[in-house]
Chains A and B, each alone.
Chain A
């Protein structure tokens, strides 16, 4: 989804202790000695290519997953056979949280571009977390952030507010990852963004065109340049989770 930065495809080591994403991911704030405990249980999945499944709805829950490179989307299929998008996941973000309670995955998780993920077996992760308070509270924070995100997304806002909030949120997540916060290269189709924001594809395009005519952004195929992040943020009106620590 995002080819924004220079070293996007930098090699990421399989071990958490050597991973450049550790400050964004689950092990955030853990000591080097604690990280080695995680190293023993983490394995790699992929590479997946655009459209490849990491998880299918109904799969038994065994692990959480962290994006290592590339990006994924998670979605369910509604009664009419349409995709409902629940999230777009960037490097360092955790997927599969919704499966902890039902012990089955609710969402399909599919690669949006060439992507790899870390498999974190949940039993072993829990066992380690019970010994490492830092990891345990990290897990709680990730769960809480996820909940807050879905709550914010379901609030009653205008289409333009929702779309602006989405762009501001993406921008800040990219900045955290060391990419440009102004140049967003999206490879997900517009209908996925529409589905995620509960809007129609037409509304997404119309709103983007309005932002463009107001000088907030410029759009070229699937690239967006944020020309006035401050005004766009004001346009989003509501609080976003920008900058919130996991």
Chain B
């Protein structure tokens, strides 16, 4: 291993007792306000008008496009995504047919000089579909939109190693994908059994290595801690195995057990889950190991090594938070297709129906299936900006906020800053003038810092709908 560029061989001084104290449900801020505040006043016509108006900006924003492919052959028990578990290929192809229609309808609204810089296929399991189906999906996208074909594009797809082989990786490259994200979660057989996702560790690791060798610009692996039967020891074995092949990015998510909300999670007995104490050990163990191996923590839950664009984006300030996590292109309008998908055009969020039948019927009738959304007010715009900075970067520069929004930072955020004092005492943040700098603990608990700027979150009224911090 080369010298660590960030001086992180020593584990950061993180006090587990403090982590425990702040281990409360907080939004993940993939949007602000969060999707819970969406209202049904946002309809298809509101959405179309918003696109039309964005086309008339002096320099219309380029685009990010998210495609939701919700199908899975079998249910991973931990999953909280909107998905459809079926082996009925005709059901999936009915969906695909209307997805093509939705792509065409959205594309027709967008001026052709607006370039799709970022494309993400997520699920469900995008690789549920055959090579031919994915190729025709990409054709439909290319027909409807102007795609960036240059090296700066960020075209990614989530892959399930159980639906993948070398030939398929080649095919994905030929379709224009230059990023691939592997769902791994945990390589331990017992844990895999408990979450109903058994995949051969050796095969999985070989595929990740192949992907890196084939020329994908970025290879990501997703890991999950807090899974049933997961012990710190066995999870560290997974961490070591992953570090052995050094992917460009690692995403380390905490499993959120919300069985009332997600049916399949009822298959996971609460008694099999690591307790709060063990979750902290799982998280800190992996965190410190990644740091020691030269990975740099990015935002809430990502780690990137030297050479990955995500680290460049952190350093040049273009890192951005969106519904898919973190990305490297700031300032894009995001379009999204598929059930439950959320678009953002300027100050408007618009979300599709989550219901498969509703989705199909609506599109067959030629309508975009927008059902809810939210129009940001001027205060939301300012807070969304502040919260995104906190979720992405290592400091919040109040002077820059003042310039961007023409406000007086200490006055505008007087009550937020007051609520920050506790976090200052506990060494999550450090304030000097209008700067709020995240300290190592604050970087891990950045959701807590962000929440202090959330006008919708009353501190005396903690909210059970969000996942726990750690």
Contact = CB atoms under 8 A, between A and B. Distances in A.
Interface in B49-77: 55-60
A137 interface: no
B346 interface: yes
A139 interface: no
A190 B53 CA distance: 10
Interface stretch (A26-34, A66-74, A198-206, A229-237): A198-206
Contacts of B59: 205, 208-209, 212, 219
B58 A208 contact: yes
A190 B56 contact: yes
A208 B59 CA distance: 7
A167 to B, nearest CB: 11
Interface string A198-227: 000110111011001000000101101000
Interface residues of B, number: 9
B113 interface: yes
B392 to A, nearest CB: 20
A222 B58 contact: yes
A212 B59 CA distance: 10
Nearest to B54: A221
Contacts of A212: 59
Given A201-B113, A205-B113, A221-B346, A191 B56 contact: yes
A189 B55 CA distance: 8
A205 B58 CA distance: 6
A205 B56 contact: no
A201 B58 CA distance: 9
A218 to B, nearest CB: 10
B113 A202 contact: yes
A186 interface: yes
Nearest to B61: A221
A201 B111 contact: yes
A105 to B, nearest CB: 26
Nearest to B404: A220
A209 B62 CA distance: 12
A193 B113 CA distance: 16
Interface in A164-205: 186, 189-191, 193, 201-202, 204-205
Interface of B: 55-60, 111, 113, 346
- Ranked nearest first, the 8 interchain pairs of A and B with the lowest CB-CB distance are A189-B56, A202-B113, A205-B59, A221-B57, A219-B58, A219-B59, A190-B56, A208-B59
Given A186-B58, A190-B56, A202-B113, 20 more contacts: A189-B55, A189-B56, A190-B55, A190-B57, A191-B56, A193-B58, A201-B113, A204-B58, A205-B58, A205-B59, A205-B113, A208-B59, A209-B59, A219-B59, A221-B57, A221-B58, A222-B56, A222-B57, A222-B58, A224-B58
